Amino acid sequence: MAHIATRKGTIAILTGGGDVPGLNPAIRALTIRSIREGYRVLGIRRGWAGLIELDPENPESQREHVIELSIEAVNKVGRTGGTFLHTSRTRPSHVPRDNLPKHLSNKYDGEINDLTEEVLSNLSYLGVDTLIPIGGDDTLSFGAHLHQLGVPVIAIPKTMDNDVPGTDYCIGFSTCVTRTIEMTHALRTSAGSHERFLIIEVFGRYAGFTSLLPTMAGAANRCVIPEYTFSIERLCELLAEDRFSNPSRYSVALVSEGARFEGVETVYAGEEIDMYGHKKLGGIGDRISQKLKEISPTFNHGRRINVINQRLGYLVRCGDPDALDSMVPMAFGNLAMDLTLSGKSGRLVCVREGRYGNVPIEVVTSEKKVVNVEKYYNTDRLRPTYRRFDSKPLFIMTSE
């Protein structure tokens, strides 16, 4: 595999972190453009895991972890969701002993092991000239690390939370917002039939864009975001007011999974920690719903208001991409190839102020991208705030 001659070089593509609609269109665009420009294209399976689990001395391992991509192979899957290269939440520089590949188990004996050397060795063995990781800030942070070690890396931002610094848009965000709006409107029929509060938990570990933007679009009356610790009493009061003013006697709030209210910290679905130090979030919607039921009589003339509580979870990241998540990945893939042809690396392709471009890859580790609460969130009304749209970028609140 490593010794097949190429006209211009070899490009390797991998996808890391959570799946989102739009990954396959990006792989398709990259592959077709690269092959037409005279490059050989390799798909690394399971993200960074593929580059530590690959055993050069084992032909079966090579077939398992590396695929040579063709135009025919990517054409059909380019219309689908998920990633046909598969993915994982692997951090090569912090691999626990229990996760060591079998062929490396005698070489490393720490509780946590740095396998960066194995990644570099396997990239060299495969003859990779340019590595293109597609992922969020966790996945791309290791890409930035490889760039510092001399590997030509061009990164493509992906995350439905839209929280990769340096870009106004990440692959997966539009489909997430679209699905959130659609499902919230669908759930209104049940909320209205029973005259209840409707509490919907959506993705958003550190950043509240996935609840803020749908609320701005009219999907909900209120939203709570990770960037602001809110008062549950104030949320209940506002939802009760919204419910009373609605002829169908219901109201809706979107809840980011990383949201917190006074007296309750971030809620986790379990204690297990991934290689990037994150616990899986989930359950804040349950806590909010229970508390709202308890205190609702205070704001409803002594009568309790019941709650419909729904966690959207993987429903917003499964299935086919929407229009934007079909078009933007195509542009990102071609931007990455433009940089390759010009001999540039260490870059993150991006959209800024409505225009495609690229920025240094180091930006992904420079800061956390979160909602500017002062500019875009009304902390008293618990909803988006905006005054003028003239000359604003398309997604308004996601620009930096």
Is pLDDT above 50 for 3?
A: no
Residue pair 2/126 in contact (Cβ under 8 Å)? The answer is: yes
Judge if 240 and 356 occupy the same domain: no
CATH number for the domain harbouring residue 341: 3.40.50.450
| 263 vs 260: CA distance, rounded Å | 8
Residue 95 has what pLDDT? 95
Cβ–Cβ contacts within 10 Å for residue 120, how many? 16
* Full domain range(s) for residue 275: 177-316+373-389
Q: Which of 19, 55, 137, 161 is catalytic?
A: 161
Residue 276 has what pLDDT? 77
Residues of the chain with pLDDT > 90, as a percent, come to 86
The separation between the first and the last C-alpha atoms of the chain, rounded to the nearest angstrom, is: 43
Question: What is the chain's Cα-based Rg?
Answer: 23
Judge if 249 and 236 occupy the same domain: yes
Judge if 343 and 295 occupy the same domain: no
Strand locations in 118-267 (E): 130-135, 154-157, 197-202, 222-224, 251-256
Is pLDDT above 50 for 4?
A: no
Structure tokens given for 385: 């705030």
Strand locations in the chain (E): 10-15, 40-44, 66-68, 95-96, 112-113, 130-135, 154-157, 197-202, 222-224, 251-256, 268-273, 279-281, 307-311, 347-352, 355-360, 377-378, 383-384
Is pLDDT above 50 for 237?
A: yes
Could you tell me if residue 383 is inside a domain? yes
Residues of the chain with pLDDT > 70, as a percent, come to 98
Which of the 8 DSSP states describes residue 57?
T
Could you tell me if residue 351 is inside a domain? yes
Q: What is the pLDDT of residues 262-321, one digit of tens each?
A: 998 888 777 777 777 777 778 999 999 999 999 999 999 999 999 999 999 999 999 999
Judge if 190 and 224 occupy the same domain: yes
With H, G, I as helix, E, B as strand and everything else as coil, classify residue 129.
Answer: coil
Q: Per-residue pLDDT averaged across 127-156, rounded?
A: 97
Could you tell me if residue 394 is inside a domain? no
State the burial class of residue 185 (Cβ atoms within 10 Å of its Cβ: 0-12, 13-18, 19+): middle
Could you tell me if residue 397 is inside a domain? no
Residue 1 has what pLDDT? 46
Could you tell me if residue 268 is inside a domain? yes
Instruction: Quote the pTM value.
Output: 0.93
Judge if 311 and 340 occupy the same domain: no
Residue 6 has what pLDDT? 46
Could you tell me if residue 261 is inside a domain? yes
Judge if 353 and 380 occupy the same domain: no
Residue 394 has what pLDDT? 80
Q: What is the pLDDT of residues 10-57, one digit of tens each?
A: 999 999 999 999 999 999 999 999 999 999 999 999 999 999 999 999
pLDDT band at 255 (very low <50, low <70, confident <90, very high): very high
With H, G, I as helix, E, B as strand and everything else as coil, classify residue 299.
Answer: helix
Judge if 231 and 189 occupy the same domain: yes
How many independent structural domains does the chain possess?
2
Of 293, 299, 311, nearest in space to 196 by CA: 293
Q: What is the pLDDT of residues 163-220, one digit of tens each?
A: 999 999 999 999 999 999 999 999 999 999 999 999 999 998 899 999 999 999 999 9
User: Which residue in this structure is represented by tokens 């690394």?
Assistant: 44
Q: Per-residue pLDDT averaged across 69-98, rounded?
A: 94
Mean pLDDT over each residue of the chain, to the nearest integer:
93
Judge if 114 and 193 occupy the same domain: no
Judge if 300 and 330 occupy the same domain: no
pLDDT band at 72 (very low <50, low <70, confident <90, very high): very high
With H, G, I as helix, E, B as strand and everything else as coil, classify residue 324.
Answer: helix
Could you tell me if residue 4 is inside a domain? no
Judge if 95 and 208 occupy the same domain: no
Residue 161 appears among annotated catalytic residues: yes
| 383 vs 265: CA distance, rounded Å | 20
